[in-house]
Amino acid sequence: MKLFQQLLVAPAALGLLATGANAAELNINGVSDYAASADQVTSVTQFSDVYPTDWAYQALANLVETYGCVAGYPNGTFRGNRAMTRYEAAALLNACLDRVTEVTDELRRLMAEFETELAILKGRVDGLEARVGELEATQFSTTTKLKAK
């Protein structure tokens, strides 16, 4: 077995051999199962128990609309007035991190796709900034008085 593979297997083996290890701590698939079973929403208004006057409304709206990573319960509620389990927190964090990674990957792809156009635009902007700088340096004074003969 290669060193890299051993490093991947070692934490799992140590966790299985740990005395008194809690099965819930070792079951990482539970988080993924929970996240898959949760109902993703596309607008915070889909939650029947979240109102614009709630203190966390704007934060939820931002997460839902920007990243689409907030899930509710099957009955259309968010249940923001109760404590969150560790599984729910892990599922929410995992969904948001996955979505942010997708957005980052998409931005990288778009930057690579439009690399030449971005370089052309950068050159044009640099040229315009140089011309503006030159015009500002040689700008005619508005307080100068001219006398004609």
Per DSSP, 39 falls in state E
Better pLDDT: 98 or 1? 98
Total length of the chain: 149
- Binning pLDDT at 50, 70 and 90, where does residue 148 land? confident
To the nearest whole number, what is the mean pLDDT of the chain?
Answer: 75
Please list, residue by residue across 52-81, b when 16 or more beta carbons sit within 10 angstroms of its beta carbon and e when fewer do. Answer: eebeebeebbebbeebbbbbbeeeeebeee
Per DSSP, 20 falls in state T
- Binning pLDDT at 50, 70 and 90, where does residue 41 land? confident
Better pLDDT: 18 or 113? 113
- Binning pLDDT at 50, 70 and 90, where does residue 128 land? very high
Better pLDDT: 102 or 112? 112
At 49-95, the pLDDT tens digits run 889 998 888 988 988 888 888 888 888 888 888 888 888 888 888 88
| All structural domains of the chain with their residue ranges | 22-98
CA distances from 50 to 35, 59, 67, 72, 78 (A): 20, 12, 18, 11, 7
With left for phi above 0 and alpha for psi between -120 and 50, is residue 104 left, alpha or beta? alpha
